[in-house]
Amino acid sequence: MNIDSEKPIQPALRQRCEVRIASDTAALEALSSKLMQVASRRFGNSVVEVMLFFPSVRTALKECSSGRVVVRETPVKCVIRPNAGNSFPYPLGSPEVRIEFPGLDPEVFVPWLGGLAWIDGTLAGGFLGALGLSLPALPAGKGAFGIPCLWREGGWTPACDLVFVARQVHRLLTDPGDYSPKDAMNPEAALYWATHRDRLPFEPPISELYGLGGADDCRRAPSKRFLLTAIE
């Protein structure tokens, strides 16, 4: 579908997008389980946020004092905002995704994942600092969050949906070996996991997110890897 960025979205198309968000949200909520809990926040009939909560997911953390990388279970929250900061409404445009680690003290541990730029008072993770970007300082342990890379530029199409997003989030957390140090959100972590593939994955995929038999490519190819670039 070709959308002219110079022309406003017509009301009929915007309404279809609202219906699509509601449908995709309901489909994801139907997959809520003890491994991945799903909730949504609405304003009237419009879906504003979709939240994923993984009560205990095995993922990688780096100990700030020693630099030691550990894999352990920790709660993780993911906030998906379908229409935040996008020129086009979902699914014509990709959603905003943020990842939080409730209870994680960023002065003790930081997430150590190639596909995640971790933002706290020190901008740990390096990606944003390397680009010369600056953000208001965050108090230690307050408001820290991660910006994930879940698909390549141009990798989001209207065929993708919220189930696809949830799959990519869980894969990012539990199997971070597919990110090249040359263009990862956290190059150091990407290099670490590129050389420690024998420790991957940390846990198996969530079965409810795969084999749904949908019509789009995102659903039909559950074994397809999210590969940024080959490790040089």
Domain extents in the chain: 11-220
Contacts of 22 (CB under 8 A, 6+ apart): 45, 47
Q: Give the pLDDT score at 224.
A: 40
Q: Give the pLDDT score at 180.
A: 86
**What top-level class would CATH report for the domain 11-220?**
alpha beta
The helix/strand count (H/E) of the chain reads as 5, 7
pTM to 2 decimal places: 0.83
Q: Give the pLDDT score at 85.
A: 66
**How far from chain centre, in Å, is Cα 42?**
21
Residue ranges of the chain with per-residue pLDDT less than 50: 1-5, 123-127, 131-141, 213-232
Q: Give the pLDDT score at 214.
A: 40
Q: Give the pLDDT score at 80.
A: 97
- Quick check: helix, strand or coil at residue 98? strand
Instruction: Judge contact between 91 and 76, C-beta under 8 A.
Output: no
Q: Give the pLDDT score at 198.
A: 94
Q: Give the pLDDT score at 121.
A: 55
